[in-house]
A and B are shown apart, each in its own frame.
Chain A
Amino acid sequence: MNAMVEIQLIAAVTAAACAIPGVFLVLRKMALISDAISHSILPGIVIGFFITHDLASPWLIIFAAFSGIITVILVEMIQKTGLVKEDTAIGLVFPALFSIGVILIAKNANDVHLDVDAVLLGDLAFAPFDRLLIDGADYGPKGLWMISVILVITLLLLFAFYKELKISTFDIGLSSALGFSPVIMHYGLMSVASVTTVAAFDAVGAILVVALMIAPAATAYLLTTDLRKMLVLSVIIGVGSAIGGYWLARWLDASISGSITTVLGLLFLMIYLFAPSKGLIAVLLRQNRQRKEVSLLTFLLHLNNHDSIEERRVTHLQEHINWRKVRANSVLKLAKKNNMVTIENQVVSLTQKGLTFTEKALDYIITNEDEQIEDMKDDFFLFRG
C-alpha cells in the first residue's frame, strides 16, 4: 500500500468510527459533549505523556479516555447542584481542563514533540510514517490499526446493544421500566465516544473530531426518520466526505482535516437547503402552502357565513377580510381551481363541493376537532397551495 491509499483509509475508517456514536449523541441532544470531551482530553494526554514519555504509548489513550469520562462526570456533578444550567456546566468545565492542558504543555514539554497545534488540529499527512512493526515485519500504519480496532469494537457493541440503545435513546422511561439501565447505557456511550475521540484526534485533531461526529449524523437526520437508515447514511456521508476531503486537500495543498470538514460542511449545506420534506426550501414551501390553505379555509367559511350577494362581491371581500390584492387573488384562484367556488358577475358563490366542505369543517370546529380538517384537505383538494 502506498501512503496515499493509507491516508484515505485512515480518514475513512476514522469517519466511520466517529459517525456511529455521533448518531446517538445527536439523537440524545448531547452533541456538545463531544466538543467538551475533545477539548478536555488534553490534560489526560499530557499527563500520560509525562508518565510514559512516549507519544505512541497506548497508555496515552487510556489516560485521555479517562479524562474524557471525568469531564462527563464533572459536568453532571455541576448540573446536579442546580447552580447553573447544563450548557453552562459544559461551557465551564472544558475550557478549564483545556487551559490546564495548555499550561502543562507550555511549562514542561518544551523540548518534545507535543505542541498544542498538533493536538488540536492533528495531521493526517504524517500518519502513514508511524508503522506497526512486529518482529521487523511491516504491518501498515499504527493509526490505521488503532482506529480499525475501535471501529470493530464500536460495531460489535452496536449490534449487541442495538435494541437497548434504541429504547434508551427514544424512551428513557420505557427502557428503565423494561430493566435496561439508562445510566449504564449513558456511560457506555460516553466511554465509546471518549475512546473514539481520543483515537481520532491523532488523525484529525481535537476540534475536527466534533465535525466527524456531529455533521454526518445531523445531515442523515435531515434525510430519514429511521434509526437504521440514519446510521448507515451517516457512515456513508462520513466516509464519502473523508475521501472527498482528501482529494480537495491535495488539490488546494491545504490541511486534510480542514478539507474533510469543509466537504462535510458543504454536504450539510446542500442537504439543509434541498432535503425533501425536512430541508429549508421544503419547509418554507410547506409553510407557505399551509398559510395559503388556512387563508382558503377562512375565505370559504366567510362565504358560507354570508349569503347576500352584496357581501359576496369580489371587491367587498377584499375589503372585508382585509387581504392585500395579490393574496386575495391567489386565494380566489386556488378556490376556483379546486372547484370550491364559482364567480359570476364579480359575485363569488360556493359550489356544492365547497358547501359540503365548509359544513364539514364547521362541524369539526364546533366539536373542537380542528385537527381533522387536515385530513379533510386531502380528500377535497386536488391542487394544494
Chain B
Amino acid sequence: MELTDFFTDYTLRTITLGTAVLGAICGMLGSFAVLRKQSLLGDAISHAALPGIAIAFLITGAKDSNVLLLGALVSGLIGVFWIKGIVSKTHLKTDTALGLILSLFFGFGMLLLTFIQKQPNANQAGLDKYLFGQAATLVESDVTLMIIVTAISLVVILLFWKEFKLLLFDKNYAMTLGFNTKFIDGLISFFIVLAIVIGLQTVGVVLMSAMLLAPAAAARQWTNSLGVMVILAAIFGAFSGVFGTAISATQSNLSTGPVIVLVAAVFVVISFVFSPERGILFKQIRLIKNRRDLELQKTLYFMYDIVRKHDDISRPHAIKILNNFQGFTKGTLGKLVEKDWITIAGDSWSMTGEGFHTAANLYNTNIPES
C-alpha cells in the first residue's frame, strides 16, 4: 500500500477518520478518568460491556452494531454502579471491586459468546471482533455515530466544565457549594462508559483501557492546566489513531488496535522522558545542576571559614590548603572566579567582598542566583 492511497482510498479514509475521532474522545474523557484516579475503571468497564453485547445479540438476533453497542452501554453502566456499590457498602477495596467486575462480567460474556456460537443460526460470526477490535470493519455510519457522540460529550464537557473541574479537584468544596455531586459524578462516569463502548468495535475489549489512559497520561506531563490537558490528550489520542492506522495499513497482518495502543505508548514514553517540567531527563539535569551548585557553595563556605579568621578579607591564601577538602576541584575554583566570589593570583586565592557577603548569608537567606 502506497502512502498516496491513504488519501484516495475510501475505506482507509473512513477508518482513519474513525480512529482519529475515537482517539480524540478517549483522550478528552480519559483526562477526567486519570485525574480522578479511576484509570483502571476503563479496563473494568470495557470488559464488563461484553455480556451486554452478547445479550443484545441473543435478544434481537441482529448484528446491527448500534443495538449491540446499546447492550454494551447498559451492561457497562451496570458494571460501574456495581463497582461503586461494592466500594461504598462493603469493605472490599476499589482494586478488588474492579478486578471482580472485570473478570466476572467478562467470564459471563464468554459463556454467552460460546453459547451463541453453538446456536443453529449462522448469523453469529463476527461477534468476537469486539474482543480485539477490527478497525477494518468500520463503516461510514459507525464513524458518524462516533462523531455525534464526540460532539455531544464535547458540548456536555463545555457546559459542565466548572462543575467537572471542581468535582475533580475538591469534591467536598463542590458539595458545600451545593452542587449535586452525585449527578455530576454520574455524568462523568456515563460519558466515560460511552467513550469506551464506542471504541469497542475498533480497539476491542482488552486494549480499550489503554486508549483511555495513554493520551491523558502523556498530556498530563506537559501541563498543569486542566483545559490544556484535555485538549492535548485529545490531540495525542487523535494522532495515535491516525499513525496507528497508517502503520498497520502499510503492513499485512498487523491488527490496528494493538498498533494504535503502541503508538499511544510511544507518546507516553516521550512525554515521560522529555517533558520540560516533569520529564525524567530534565529532572535529572536539574538534579545534577543542583548538586553542582551545592558543591560550589560548600567550597565557598569552606573558604569563608578560613577567611573570617583574618581581619583582611581579601588576604591571599595558598590553593594548597584546599587540597584536603572534598568538594574542591580545579573546575569549582574556575566557577567561583566566574561568579566573582574569589580571585586567583598564581598559587593563591583571595576572597572578594561579594564572595564574603554571599558566604556569610549562605545558610541564612535564600540568595537569588547572582
**Which A residues contact B (CB, under 8 angstroms)?**
26, 29-32, 34-35, 39, 78, 81, 83-85, 87-88, 90-92, 95-96, 98-100, 102-103, 106-107, 110, 116-117, 120-121, 207-208, 210-211, 213-215, 217-218, 221-222, 249, 252-255, 257-262, 264-265, 268, 272, 278-280, 283-284
Contact = CB atoms under 8 A, between A and B. Distances in A.
A259 B111 contact: yes
B95 A257 contact: no
Given A31-B98, A110-B253, A84 B220 contact: yes
B217 A92 contact: yes
Given A102-B258, A103-B258, A211-B100, 8 more contacts: A84-B217, A88-B37, A91-B39, A91-B209, A116-B132, A210-B99, A258-B108, A272-B90
B89 A280 contact: yes
Contact of A91 (B89, B107, B210, B258): B210
Residue with the greatest number of chain B CB neighbours at <10 A, chosen from A29, A39, A102, A280? A102
5 contacts: A32-B98, A78-B272, A83-B280, A92-B265, A96-B261
A284 B105 CA distance: 25
Interface of B: 34, 37-40, 42-43, 47, 85-86, 89-93, 95-96, 98-100, 102-115, 118, 128, 131-132, 206-207, 209-210, 213-214, 217, 220-221, 251, 253-255, 257-259, 261-262, 265, 268, 272, 278, 280
Contacts of A284: 89
Contacts of B39: 85, 87-88, 90-91
A117 B128 contact: yes
The DSSP consensus for interface residues of chain A is: helix
A254 B111 contact: yes
Contacts of B107: 207-208, 211, 257-258, 260-262, 264-265
Nearest to B86: A272
Contacts of B91: 221, 278
B100 A39 contact: no
Contacts of A84: 34, 217, 220
A207 B34 CA distance: 23
A90 B40 contact: yes
A31 B110 contact: no
Interface centre among A30, A92, A283 (most CB of B within 10 A): A92
A99 B155 CA distance: 33
B362 to A, nearest CB: 29
A259 B105 CA distance: 11
A215 B100 contact: yes
B276 to A, nearest CB: 13
Contacts of A264: 104, 107
B40 A29 contact: no
The 8 closest A-B pairs by CB, nearest first: A261-B107, A258-B111, A95-B210, A211-B103, A99-B258, A258-B110, A265-B104, A255-B114
Contacts of A279: 90
Contacts of B96: 26, 29, 31, 214, 217-218, 221
B222 to A, nearest CB: 11
A92 B206 contact: no
Contacts of B38: 87
A253 B34 CA distance: 41
Contact of B115 (A208, A253, A265): A253
Contacts of A78: 272
A155 to B, nearest CB: 23
Contacts of B98: 31-32
Contact of A31 (B95, B131, B221, B268): B95
Given A99-B259, A99-B261, A221-B92, A268 B104 contact: yes
A272 B82 CA distance: 11
Contacts of A31: 93, 95-96, 98-100
B90 A214 contact: no
B113 to A, nearest CB: 8
Contact of A34 (B99, B255, B272): B99
Given A39-B206, A283-B89, A254 B259 contact: no
A96 B265 contact: yes
Contact of B40 (A87, A99, A106, A278): A87
A270 to B, nearest CB: 13
A78 to B, nearest CB: 8
A91 B109 CA distance: 22
B280 A81 contact: yes
Contacts of A88: 34, 37, 39, 213, 217
B106 A261 contact: yes
Given A102-B132, A207-B103, A268-B104, A29 B254 contact: no
Contacts of A252: 111, 115
Given A35-B43, A98-B206, A258 B103 contact: no
A101 to B, nearest CB: 8
Contact of B90 (A96, A117, A207, A222): A222
Contacts of B104: 211, 215, 261-262, 264-265, 268
A338 to B, nearest CB: 28
A91 B110 contact: no
B278 to A, nearest CB: 6
A246 to B, nearest CB: 12
A83 B217 CA distance: 9
B89 A32 contact: no
B111 A262 contact: yes
Contacts of A265: 104-105, 107-108
Contacts of A255: 110-111, 113-114
Contacts of B93: 26, 29, 31
B221 to A, nearest CB: 6
A215 B103 contact: yes
Nearest to B261: A99
A117 B115 contact: no
Contacts of B95: 29-32, 87
Given A210-B103, A261-B103, A283-B89, A95 B206 contact: yes
Nearest to B275: A83
Nearest to A259: B111
A78 B255 CA distance: 27
Contacts of B207: 95, 98-99
Contacts of A259: 111
Contact of A210 (B102, B210, B278): B102
B111 A107 contact: no
A298 to B, nearest CB: 23
Q: Which of A32, A99, A217, A279 has the most CB of B within 10 A?
A: A99
A32 B209 CA distance: 13
